[in-house]
Protein backbone atom coordinates (compact mmCIF):
# COMPACT_ATOMS: atom_id res chain seq x y z
CA UNK A 1 0.00 0.00 0.00
CA UNK A 2 2.88 2.36 0.78
CA UNK A 3 4.24 1.83 -2.75
CA UNK A 4 0.95 3.05 -4.22
CA UNK A 5 1.00 6.20 -2.07
CA UNK A 6 4.66 6.78 -2.95
CA UNK A 7 3.86 6.43 -6.66
CA UNK A 8 0.96 8.90 -6.37
CA UNK A 9 3.12 11.34 -4.40
CA UNK A 10 5.76 11.19 -7.14
CA UNK A 11 3.19 11.24 -9.97
CA UNK A 12 0.16 13.32 -8.94
CA UNK A 13 -1.07 13.18 -12.53
CA UNK A 14 -1.64 9.43 -12.06
CA UNK A 15 -4.17 10.28 -9.34
CA UNK A 16 -5.80 12.84 -11.66
CA UNK A 17 -6.16 10.26 -14.45
CA UNK A 18 -7.45 7.58 -12.05
CA UNK A 19 -9.86 10.12 -10.58
CA UNK A 20 -10.96 11.08 -14.10
CA UNK A 21 -11.70 7.47 -15.04
CA UNK A 22 -13.57 6.86 -11.78
CA UNK A 23 -15.45 10.14 -12.23
CA UNK A 24 -16.34 9.18 -15.80
CA UNK A 25 -18.04 5.96 -14.68
CA UNK A 26 -19.62 7.54 -11.61
CA UNK A 27 -21.16 10.25 -13.84
CA UNK A 28 -22.50 7.59 -16.23
CA UNK A 29 -23.98 5.38 -13.51
CA UNK A 30 -25.41 8.38 -11.64
CA UNK A 31 -26.83 9.81 -14.86
CA UNK A 32 -28.49 6.56 -15.87
CA UNK A 33 -29.76 5.84 -12.35
CA UNK A 34 -31.23 9.35 -12.21
CA UNK A 35 -32.89 8.85 -15.61
CA UNK A 36 -34.35 5.38 -15.11
CA UNK A 37 -34.83 5.04 -11.36
CA UNK A 38 -35.67 8.60 -10.30
CA UNK A 39 -37.21 9.69 -13.65
CA UNK A 40 -35.28 13.00 -13.58
CA UNK A 41 -34.31 13.48 -17.22
CA UNK A 42 -32.79 16.97 -16.89
CA UNK A 43 -30.64 15.96 -13.94
CA UNK A 44 -29.61 12.85 -15.85
CA UNK A 45 -28.60 14.96 -18.86
CA UNK A 46 -26.47 17.22 -16.63
CA UNK A 47 -24.72 14.23 -15.03
CA UNK A 48 -24.03 12.64 -18.41
CA UNK A 49 -22.76 15.99 -19.72
CA UNK A 50 -20.10 15.86 -16.98
CA UNK A 51 -18.22 13.10 -18.83
CA UNK A 52 -16.58 15.45 -21.38
CA UNK A 53 -16.07 18.03 -18.61
CA UNK A 54 -14.04 15.42 -16.71
CA UNK A 55 -11.86 14.99 -19.82
CA UNK A 56 -11.24 18.74 -19.90
CA UNK A 57 -10.31 18.74 -16.20
CA UNK A 58 -7.72 16.01 -16.83
CA UNK A 59 -6.30 18.00 -19.77
CA UNK A 60 -6.25 21.25 -17.77
CA UNK A 61 -4.48 19.53 -14.86
CA UNK A 62 -1.87 18.18 -17.29
CA UNK A 63 -1.23 21.62 -18.81
CA UNK A 64 -1.04 23.27 -15.37
CA UNK A 65 1.37 20.62 -14.09
CA UNK A 66 3.67 21.05 -17.09
CA UNK A 67 3.44 24.86 -17.05
CA UNK A 68 4.42 24.79 -13.38
CA UNK A 69 7.71 23.17 -14.36
CA UNK A 70 7.02 19.44 -14.03
CA UNK A 71 9.11 17.34 -16.37
CA UNK A 72 6.83 15.34 -18.64
CA UNK A 73 6.82 11.64 -17.89
CA UNK A 74 4.85 8.56 -18.92
CA UNK A 75 1.80 9.71 -16.96
CA UNK A 76 1.55 13.08 -18.73
CA UNK A 77 1.50 11.27 -22.07
CA UNK A 78 -1.06 8.84 -20.70
CA UNK A 79 -3.31 11.80 -19.85
CA UNK A 80 -3.32 12.85 -23.52
CA UNK A 81 -4.05 9.28 -24.65
CA UNK A 82 -6.81 8.98 -22.04
CA UNK A 83 -8.38 12.15 -23.39
CA UNK A 84 -8.27 10.95 -27.01
CA UNK A 85 -9.81 7.57 -26.25
CA UNK A 86 -12.37 8.97 -23.82
CA UNK A 87 -13.62 11.56 -26.30
CA UNK A 88 -13.89 9.06 -29.18
CA UNK A 89 -15.11 5.97 -27.33
CA UNK A 90 -17.01 7.73 -24.51
CA UNK A 91 -20.32 8.20 -26.38
CA UNK A 92 -20.45 4.54 -27.45
CA UNK A 93 -19.63 3.45 -23.89
CA UNK A 94 -22.51 5.57 -22.63
CA UNK A 95 -24.85 4.04 -25.25
CA UNK A 96 -23.67 0.54 -24.27
CA UNK A 97 -24.40 1.24 -20.59
CA UNK A 98 -27.69 2.98 -21.40
CA UNK A 99 -29.12 0.00 -23.29
CA UNK A 100 -28.24 -2.39 -20.46
CA UNK A 101 -29.48 -0.05 -17.74
CA UNK A 102 -32.77 0.58 -19.57
CA UNK A 103 -33.29 -3.17 -20.06
CA UNK A 104 -32.50 -4.01 -16.43
CA UNK A 105 -34.35 -1.20 -14.67
CA UNK A 106 -36.89 0.27 -17.09
CA UNK A 107 -38.24 -2.63 -19.13
CA UNK A 108 -36.31 -1.59 -22.23
CA UNK A 109 -35.48 -4.01 -25.03
CA UNK A 110 -32.63 -6.45 -24.41
CA UNK A 111 -29.17 -5.55 -25.69
CA UNK A 112 -28.64 -6.66 -29.27
CA UNK A 113 -26.94 -10.03 -29.73
CA UNK A 114 -23.24 -10.08 -30.44
CA UNK A 115 -22.63 -9.50 -34.15
CA UNK A 116 -21.51 -12.40 -36.30
CA UNK A 117 -20.05 -12.86 -39.75
CA UNK A 118 -19.94 -9.79 -41.97
CA UNK A 119 -21.61 -7.65 -39.31
CA UNK A 120 -18.83 -8.60 -36.87
CA UNK A 121 -16.27 -7.59 -39.50
CA UNK A 122 -18.02 -4.22 -39.96
CA UNK A 123 -17.98 -3.70 -36.18
CA UNK A 124 -14.26 -4.51 -36.05
CA UNK A 125 -13.49 -2.09 -38.90
CA UNK A 126 -15.58 0.66 -37.25
CA UNK A 127 -13.83 0.05 -33.92
CA UNK A 128 -10.42 0.26 -35.60
CA UNK A 129 -11.30 3.51 -37.38
CA UNK A 130 -12.35 4.88 -33.99
CA UNK A 131 -8.99 3.75 -32.61
CA UNK A 132 -7.22 5.63 -35.41
CA UNK A 133 -9.34 8.71 -34.64
CA UNK A 134 -8.61 8.43 -30.89
CA UNK A 135 -4.87 8.05 -31.54
CA UNK A 136 -5.00 11.01 -33.94
CA UNK A 137 -6.73 13.15 -31.32
CA UNK A 138 -4.25 12.02 -28.66
CA UNK A 139 -1.39 12.94 -31.03
CA UNK A 140 -2.83 16.42 -31.54
CA UNK A 141 -3.13 16.87 -27.76
CA UNK A 142 0.46 15.66 -27.29
CA UNK A 143 1.71 18.10 -29.92
CA UNK A 144 -0.27 20.94 -28.34
CA UNK A 145 1.22 20.13 -24.93
CA UNK A 146 4.70 20.13 -26.49
CA UNK A 147 3.97 23.47 -28.17
CA UNK A 148 2.45 25.07 -25.06
CA UNK A 149 5.30 24.05 -22.77
CA UNK A 150 8.00 24.82 -25.33
CA UNK A 151 10.96 23.51 -23.32
CA UNK A 152 12.46 20.67 -25.38
CA UNK A 153 14.00 18.83 -22.43
CA UNK A 154 10.89 19.18 -20.30
CA UNK A 155 8.63 17.53 -22.89
CA UNK A 156 11.04 14.97 -24.37
CA UNK A 157 9.02 12.06 -22.93
CA UNK A 158 5.89 13.21 -24.76
CA UNK A 159 7.50 12.62 -28.17
CA UNK A 160 7.87 8.94 -27.25
CA UNK A 161 4.10 8.56 -27.19
CA UNK A 162 3.69 9.21 -30.92
CA UNK A 163 5.30 5.93 -32.07
CA UNK A 164 3.46 4.10 -29.26
CA UNK A 165 0.18 5.29 -30.71
CA UNK A 166 1.25 3.94 -34.10
CA UNK A 167 1.95 0.58 -32.48
CA UNK A 168 -1.47 0.62 -30.80
CA UNK A 169 -3.23 1.18 -34.14
CA UNK A 170 -1.18 -1.59 -35.80
CA UNK A 171 -1.93 -4.11 -33.02
CA UNK A 172 -5.62 -3.12 -33.00
CA UNK A 173 -5.74 -3.61 -36.77
CA UNK A 174 -4.06 -7.03 -36.60
CA UNK A 175 -6.19 -8.34 -33.72
CA UNK A 176 -9.42 -6.71 -34.91
CA UNK A 177 -10.41 -6.29 -38.54
CA UNK A 178 -7.53 -8.27 -40.08
CA UNK A 179 -8.10 -11.21 -37.72
CA UNK A 180 -11.83 -11.11 -38.45
CA UNK A 181 -11.29 -10.99 -42.21
CA UNK A 182 -8.86 -13.93 -42.13
CA UNK A 183 -10.89 -16.05 -39.70
CA UNK A 184 -12.65 -19.06 -41.17
CA UNK A 185 -16.34 -18.45 -41.81
CA UNK A 186 -18.82 -20.29 -39.62
CA UNK A 187 -21.89 -22.12 -40.92
CA UNK A 188 -24.21 -19.12 -40.42
CA UNK A 189 -21.95 -16.97 -42.63
CA UNK A 190 -21.92 -19.58 -45.39
CA UNK A 191 -25.72 -19.95 -45.28
CA UNK A 192 -26.26 -16.17 -45.45
CA UNK A 193 -23.79 -15.86 -48.36
CA UNK A 194 -25.56 -18.66 -50.23
CA UNK A 195 -28.94 -17.00 -49.57
CA UNK A 196 -27.65 -13.77 -51.12
CA UNK A 197 -26.64 -15.58 -54.34
Q: Express each pLDDT in 60-109 by its tens digit.
A: 998 888 888 888 888 889 999 999 999 999 999 999 999 999 999 888 99
Structural domain boundaries in the chain: 2-184
In the prediction, which pLDDT does 195 show?
47
In the prediction, which pLDDT does 34 show?
95
CB atoms within 10 A of CB 197: 4
pLDDT at position 180 over 50: yes
The DSSP code sequence of 14-28 is: HHHHHHHHHHHHHHH
Smallest Cα–Cα separation from 157: which of 146, 167, 168?
A: 146
- State how far the Cα of 66 lies from the Cα of 104, in Å rounded to an integer: 44
Amino acid sequence: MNKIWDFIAENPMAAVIAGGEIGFWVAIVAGLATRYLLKLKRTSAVLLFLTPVIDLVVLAATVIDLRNGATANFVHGLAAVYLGFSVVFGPSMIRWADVRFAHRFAGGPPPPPKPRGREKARVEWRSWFNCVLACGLASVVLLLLILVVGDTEQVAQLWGWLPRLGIVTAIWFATGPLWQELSPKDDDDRVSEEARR
